[in-house]
Amino acid sequence: MAATNAGGPVAARADGIWKVYGSGEARVAALRGVSAEFGRGRFTAIMGPSGSGKSTLMHCLAGLDTVSEGTVHIGGTEISTLGDKALTRLRRDRIGFIFQQFNLLPTLSAAENIRLPLDIAGRKADPQWWDTVIGTVGLKDRLSHRPSQLSGGQQQRVACARALMGRPDVIFADEPTGNLDSRSGAEVLSFLRSSVREHGQTIVMVTHDPVAASYADRVVFLADGSIVDELADPTAETVLDTMKRLDAPSDSVML
């Protein structure tokens, strides 16, 4: 099935994308003709069991990996045909990333980590936006700390601030709460949620956690490299119900 955005503006789009790793005996089709739209100013979760292709889809959408077939658009730009240099620039200027392992540079302070993508792009942080973001993630007193001096939750909040500071067209987050306790995870998710609601940020988040997915506006479900379902205005219960239904063997008789 193709997951569309019901006519709203689209921040990222996949059209019939395939991703095949290896060849011969080792051939793995991680994505099998995925078509999906991700709405601007919306928080979309991508869910599915381990190995279903979630990270591969995110990497292809974000230009971190190339597709074997099909096209990817970020806004109006088709990225599947861009060369390395243009792709690097697009990632730098228009996309923010949040990873499960935080990916902060250990020798830099929190403030330096947050500023790094802008520094590399030769841009300055807008002072008002800086204060807003730092205030919202609650890092005012931690800005001079190195990552090793921060808890996991604080490190991920630094990573969120880093992703938001450049006001990218899309933030891609791969299991952003996967390494956090539930309380720190909830803080990070609330923060992502409010950046969408209050500041119109676009977020695409990969997760296998129904509670995390319930913070999104919409959930797209992957299984074996294909989109198999989607859900609007999810709750943890409706996400869980959908997962159970997708898990049930198709030939089973429901009594």
Ligand X SMILES: Nc1ncnc2c1ncn2[C@@H]1O[C@H](COP(=O)(O)OP(=O)(O)O)[C@@H](O)[C@H]1O
**Sites of contact with ligand X (CB under 6 A):** 21-22, 28, 30, 48, 50-56
Binding partner of 52, given ligand X, Mg ion, none, CB within 5-8 angstroms per partner class: ligand X
Least separation, in Å, of the C-beta of 68 and ligand X? Answer: 12
Q: Would you say 214 and 235 are in contact if contact means Cβ atoms under 8 Å apart?
A: yes
* Smaller CB separation from ligand X, 50 or 128: 50
Give the whole-angstrom CA distance, residue 54 versus residue 227.
Answer: 10
In this structure, are residues 16 and 70 in contact, taking their beta carbons and an 8 Å threshold?
yes
Pairing relationship of beta strands 226-232 and 218-223 according to DSSP bridges: antiparallel
- The binder of 250, among ligand X, Mg ion, none, by C-beta within 5 to 8 A per type, is none
* In 102-217, beta strands by DSSP E: 170-174, 203-206
Query: What is the closest distance, in whole angstroms, from the C-beta atom of residue 78 to ligand X in the complex?
Result: 22
For the CA atoms of the chain, what is the radius of gyration? 18
DSSP code string of 37-84: EEETT-EEEEE--TTSSHHHHHHHHTTSS--SEEEEEETTEE-TT--H
- The token duo for 250 is 């198709």
Closest C-alpha among 220, 163, 168 to residue 191: 163
Choose between 44 and 55: whose C-beta lies nearer to Mg ion.
55
Smallest distance, Mg ion to C-beta of residue 166, A: 24
Pair of tokens at residue 95: 């996309």
Tell me how far, at minimum, the Cβ of 77 lies from ligand X, in Å.
23
Considering the complex, what minimum distance in angstroms separates the CB of residue 48 from ligand X?
5
The single residue listed with the structure tokens 């919202």 is 136
Binding mask 50-89 for Mg ion (x = CB under 5 A): ----xx----------------------------------
**Which does residue 117 bind out of Mg ion, ligand X, none, counting CB within 5 to 8 angstroms by kind?**
none
Between residues 30 and 196, which has the closer beta carbon with respect to ligand X? Answer: 30
Helix (H, G, I), strand (E, B) or coil at 95: strand
Shortest distance in whole angstroms from residue 24 CB to ligand X: 13
Q: Pick one of Mg ion, ligand X, none as the site partner of residue 44 (Cβ within 5 to 8 A by kind).
A: none
53 contact choice in ligand X, Mg ion, none (CB below 5 to 8 Å, kind-dependent): ligand X
Cα(47)–Cα(37) distance, integer angstroms: 15
Of the pair 43, 221, the CB lying nearest ligand X is at: 221
Applying CB under 5 A, the residues found at the interface with Mg ion are 54-55
